[in-house]
Amino acid sequence: MPDETPVIEIRNLHKAFGALEVIKGVDIKARKGDVISLIGSSGSGKSTILRCANLLENSQQGDILFKGEAVTWKSTGHNRHPADPKQILRIRTNFCMVFQQFNLWAHMTILQNVMEAPVTVLGRDRAEAEASARHYLDKVGIGDKADVWPAQLSGGQQQRAAIARALAMEPEALLFDEPTSALDPELEQEVVKVIKDLAAEGRTMMLVTHDMKLAADVSDHVVFLHLGQIEEEGAPKDLFGAPKSERLRQFLSSTMAV
């Protein structure tokens, strides 16, 4: 019988910046092989949830669990922060984030960018890390760009390099924060193809996206956020085909009309 423990589970998450509460009691879980898409207007809290899940932001209340292991916290409220640095490193190593703005190191070649974390964080042998990096660069379709600098690549190629860098860590799950929104439509499709291929492989992913077609195509479950709360969630065919809430209907009519 397969292990039903979620890879990522968020329970009753609350997050505030000062007096402004941006996440108001959100529950999300992703089991192995699930692709969960978070959609909603700007300011709805999508990216903040992802950053809290990866412990890039500290939440004030709620539980974050990875394969059943709860993050341990010190203090409460705005002073709350993870208690165990080793646990943070283990979690971040297993849940790799792909950002909107690529975040490649400009002074390293693409190959060096992809190799760096496996060597320095995981302690992998350099030859083994290089073979793995070349494999993942081939996988995302830019194996021929291994020895060039990030500035020499298009935005779509840089984002694919960032995905290869995340894959080289052999993570349990991938977290994508608006991976295509900084790209021209033509270049966006290169990245969409890679994400679709990863979904087809059965990788566990949480995806914040403005691309409703991508969310509909790759997701097992879609979460629509409004003002820091889950307004509606369910299978893509239900959310996109028969939305129940008026807010979701308005959101889809504005985003899918373009």
Pairing of strands 173-177, 204-208: parallel
pLDDT value at residue 2: 54
pTM, two decimals, is 0.93
- CATH number of the domain at 8-102+173-255, out of 3.30.365.10, 3.40.50.2300, 3.60.21.10, 3.40.50.300? 3.40.50.300
pLDDT value at residue 3: 64
Nearest 10 degrees: Cα torsion 138, 140, 144, 145: -130
pLDDT value at residue 257: 56
Measured between alpha carbons, how far is 224 from 154 in angstroms, rounded to an integer? 31
> Which one has a higher pLDDT value, 181 or 194?
194
pLDDT value at residue 240: 96
CB 149 within 8 A of CB 106: yes
- Domains of the chain by residue range: 8-102+173-255
Q: What tokens were used for 181?
A: 């929104």
Q: What tokens were used for 111?
A: 């190959």
Model pLDDT for residues 82-137, shown as the tens digit of each residue = 999 999 998 888 999 999 888 899 999 999 999 999 999 999 999 999 999 999 99
User: With pLDDT > 70 as the criterion, what percentage of the chain qualifies?
Assistant: 98
pLDDT value at residue 4: 83
Mean pLDDT of the chain: 94
pLDDT value at residue 258: 46
pLDDT value at residue 141: 95
Model pLDDT for residues 48-58, shown as the tens digit of each residue = 999 999 999 99
> Band of the pLDDT at 186, cuts 50, 70, 90?
confident
For residue 181, pLDDT beyond 90: no
CB 98 within 8 A of CB 162: yes
Measured between alpha carbons, how far is 131 from 121 in angstroms, rounded to an integer? 17
pLDDT value at residue 1: 45
CB 184 within 8 A of CB 3: no
